[in-house]
Each structure stands twice: as C-alpha cells, then as structure tokens.
Amino acid sequence: MNTIKIKFIAALTLVSLLVGAIVLILTPYMVKHEIVENALEHRSNTFEKSIKHFIEEHGSWGSAGDAVAFANSADFRLVEEVSDINQIPIKVTVFDQNGHVLHSGSGFTIGSRVDIGSMEDPEEIYVRDEVVAYMAATGDVQLSPWEKAYLHTLEETLFFSVLMAIITILPFGIWHGSRLVYSLKHLTRAVNSMAEGKLQQQVPINSGDEVGVLAQAFNSMNQQLVSAYKELETSRNLIADQAEKLKELSIRDELTGLYNRRFFNEEGATLMASSVRYNQPLSIVLGDVDHFKKINDNYSHATGDAVLKQVSKILQQGVRASDLVARFGGEEMVLALPNTSLPEATEMIDRIRAAIADYPWSDVAEGLSVTMSFGVSADESVQSLERRLDLADTELYRAKREGRNRVCACEPA
C-alpha cells in the first residue's frame, strides 16, 4: 500500500518540476518576444506615417526607384530620428508591398527585391487600409544590459519560486498520500476479513472524495450483505428445522409417538450388524397388549387408543436412551436392547410388564384392566434380525399360551 503513497508524492513532484521547467523556459522567451513585438509595433507606426507622407509628396509608390528615393528622403531620416531604428533589439528589414527593400537589417541593398514569402511572419504596414510595406525581424535579439539584468532577475525569481512551490507541495503530498493510504488500508483489511468469513465489517469515512464515496458504498454493501446473510441463515435454519420435523414425522407412529416399523427395521439392522461385528449382546423383544380387541369392543376404540398411548409412555420410561422402542403394528410393540444380555433384558422387561399391570387404568375407563405379554430373544448364534424377531415372536405366543401377563425368553441353543 505504501507504493500508492510513493507514487502519489512522485507524481506531485514530477508535475511541479514539469510546470516549473515550462515556466522557466517559456517566460524568458515570451518576455524577449514581447520586447521585440513592442519595438516593431512602435517602428511600424512611425514607418506608416513616413510612407504616407512620402506617397502624398511624390504621388508614386511600389517601384525600386521609390524605395531608393524613400531611403534617401527626409521622411526616412524622420523615421531614424523619431524611432531610433538602429536601436531595435533585433535587426529588421523593411520592404514595400512588391518586395523592394526600404531598409536593410541583414545585408540587403536598398531598392533590391526580396521574396516576401521567404520572410518569417512579416509585420504589415497599412496606409488607407492598404498594405504598402512589410517589416520583418531578422537575426538574433540583441538585448541591452538593463534588459539582460531584468531577464536574469526574472529567471532567478522563477527558479526560487518553483523550488519553494515544490518544498511546499511535498509535505502536502505526504499528508494527503497518508490519508489516502490510511483509508485504503481500512478497505483492504475489511475485504480480507470478509474473505476469511468475518462478514460484519465497517470502515471509517474520512473524506467526501472518491475514496470516501467508495468507503460509504462499501459500508452500505456490507450492511446489505450481512442482512441478506442473516436472512439466508434464518431461512436455512427454518428449512433444517422443517426437514427435521418432517423426518421425525416420517419415522414416528402418529398415535403413540414411538418409532414406526420401517424405522425399526432400518435401525435394528444397524444394531444387529454392530452386535455381530463387535461380539456384543443384543436382545430383541416383542410385546402385545393382552385382549386388546376386547378393550375396543367393550369400551371403545378411543379407549383402545388411550391404552396404546399410555403403554407407549410406560415402555419409553422403562428403557434406556440407547434402547430402541417402536410400534410394530396394531397393539404389538418391539424393542431392541443393545449391550443387553438375555437375563438383563428379561429383568428389564418384567419391570415394565409389572408397571403396565399396576397402572391405574380405571382412570382411563372405569373397570378397565390392562396387561402385556412379552417374548425375548438374545441368541448370539442367530445373526439375522428377522430370525431373532421370529424367535421373539415364538416366545410371545408362548407367553400368551401360558396365561398372558408374563415374559418368556428364548434360551440360547
């Protein structure tokens, strides 16, 4: 960033030197030119009067003889006396409209003829709105000692003026360059921070120039970007929440809130594979509400639904966070108990069975009594979820046959 500051100062210095050089070169030239122009204008006016008087006296003009006659006439001597023509700071040649030399400043002969087109920017002399002669400067400017001293003083004054201007401009350039670099550093730092993920950025506005406008535009853009990002994050979180809710709805049983059978089959297969891989026990339990059809018939389907909801709560309260409980279908529930041996599973499920039997069902419906039967399978030699479910189902039916409200377990072979 310091490169910009150096370039800015260098540009100011270069411009100052360039302007100073132009002034130092052009001013003396223009002064010399103005001296010559003023002298030529004065002599031109004098020649005009003299030529006019000559024409009125002699009645002719424009020939070589007229040129010689004019040069030897009292009118020309009047020119020399009045204008001091030989003191002009540059040699001049005067010739009539046909090119005949009236006064020679560079070796021409009076009365000889010159090519008007070859003379550089001759001064026209008019009489009654007609060009009767020309005056052209020839040779170098010959300045007087006073004029030379004046030009020398002028050149010195200009030189020291330019030097002082540069000395004055440099501190200003350093100060202004520092301000410019300071503002750009803030902008660069803010942009880099945004690139690193720190979106909330604001930079100071120290001026009303283009850099200040850029800083203001950056702040406005940053605010809009941050606002848009927050809205996007809000929308993204909302979508994620909605997706999570939809996912939860898709894997939950609507009535009981337990996982559904499809989810149990997927998660149960994962638990089964982990059990086989790491040689850890996994107990599978199937449970069924005893005489559920009679509950629906004798009370109502609403009472049956209330029974299923309460049974589901008791099941969830009786298991661990790592255990999986699902509604397998109708009044049938299924459980997967990882890292749980058959005796441990049987003990846990028997506590749950007792809790269901002891629940005050009369609060749900007068005279209502609810029990559940369970079948447990934990044979590690059976490495298929479907086969363990079949074994648990066999034990469940055995519990039903033996009087219900009991837990039957499949002993390993």
CATH of the domain at 334: 3.30.70.270
Amino acid at 272: M
Domain of residue 394 covers 261-410
Is residue 51's pLDDT more than 60? yes
Q: Mean pLDDT for the chain?
A: 82
In a domain, 183, yes or no: no
In a domain, 153, yes or no: no
Alpha helices by DSSP H, listed for 252-384, are: 261-278, 292-298, 301-318, 342-358
Highest mean pLDDT among 32-36, 52-56, 164-168, 358-362: 358-362
In a domain, 370, yes or no: yes
Strands 372-377 and 123-127: unpaired
In this structure, the answer to whether residues 232 and 323 fall within a common structural domain is: no
Eight-state DSSP code of residue 198: -
* Single residue among 138, 160, 184 that ends a domain in this structure: 138
In this structure, the answer to whether residues 236 and 308 fall within a common structural domain is: no
In a domain, 189, yes or no: no
Under a CB-based contact definition with an 8 Å cutoff, are residues 340 and 282 in contact? Answer: yes
Order the strands of the 130-138 sheet from edge to edge: 101-103, 91-96, 130-138, 123-127
In a domain, 232, yes or no: yes
In this structure, the answer to whether residues 99 and 225 fall within a common structural domain is: no
In this structure, the answer to whether residues 73 and 94 fall within a common structural domain is: yes
In this structure, the answer to whether residues 284 and 206 fall within a common structural domain is: no
Eight-state DSSP code of residue 252: B
CB under 8 Å to 315, separation ≥6 — which residues?
Answer: 258, 287, 325, 333, 335, 352
In a domain, 192, yes or no: no
* Average pLDDT rounded to a whole number, residues 236-251: 75
Q: How far apart are the first and last CA of the chain?
A: 82
CATH number assigned to the domain comprising residue 19: 3.30.450
Active site residues: 331
pTM metric for this prediction = 0.48
In a domain, 41, yes or no: yes
**Pick from 404, 403, 343: nearest CA to 372:** 404
In this structure, the answer to whether residues 222 and 114 fall within a common structural domain is: no
* Single residue among 217, 251, 285 that ends a domain in this structure: 251
Output the pLDDT for position 203.
74
Task: Output the six-digit token pair for 14.
Answer: 């270069």
In this structure, the answer to whether residues 277 and 225 fall within a common structural domain is: no
Tally of structural domains, the chain: 3
Q: How confident is the model at residue 168 (pLDDT cuts 50, 70, 90)?
A: confident
Under a CB-based contact definition with an 8 Å cutoff, are residues 138 and 106 in contact? Answer: yes
Task: Output the six-digit token pair for 132.
Answer: 């009767």
In this structure, the answer to whether residues 43 and 127 fall within a common structural domain is: yes
Q: For the ranges 94-103, 173-182, 370-379, which has the lowest average pLDDT?
A: 173-182
* Single residue among 95, 113, 138 that ends a domain in this structure: 138
Is residue 88's pLDDT more than 60? no
In this structure, the answer to whether residues 133 and 210 fall within a common structural domain is: no
Beta bridge partners of residue 324, listed in sequence order: 336
Burial 149-182 (b: 16+ CB within 10 A, else e): eebeeeeeebeeebeeebeebeeebeebbeebbe
In this structure, the answer to whether residues 15 and 39 fall within a common structural domain is: yes
pLDDT in tens, 367-410: 999 999 999 999 888 989 999 999 999 999 999 999 999 999 98
Identify the residue with better confidence: 78 or 71.
Answer: 71
In this structure, the answer to whether residues 384 and 294 fall within a common structural domain is: yes
Alpha helices by DSSP H, listed for 117-209, are: 145-195
pLDDT in tens, 287-338: 999 999 999 999 999 999 999 999 999 999 999 999 999 999 999 999 999 9
In this structure, the answer to whether residues 279 and 247 fall within a common structural domain is: no
In a domain, 158, yes or no: no
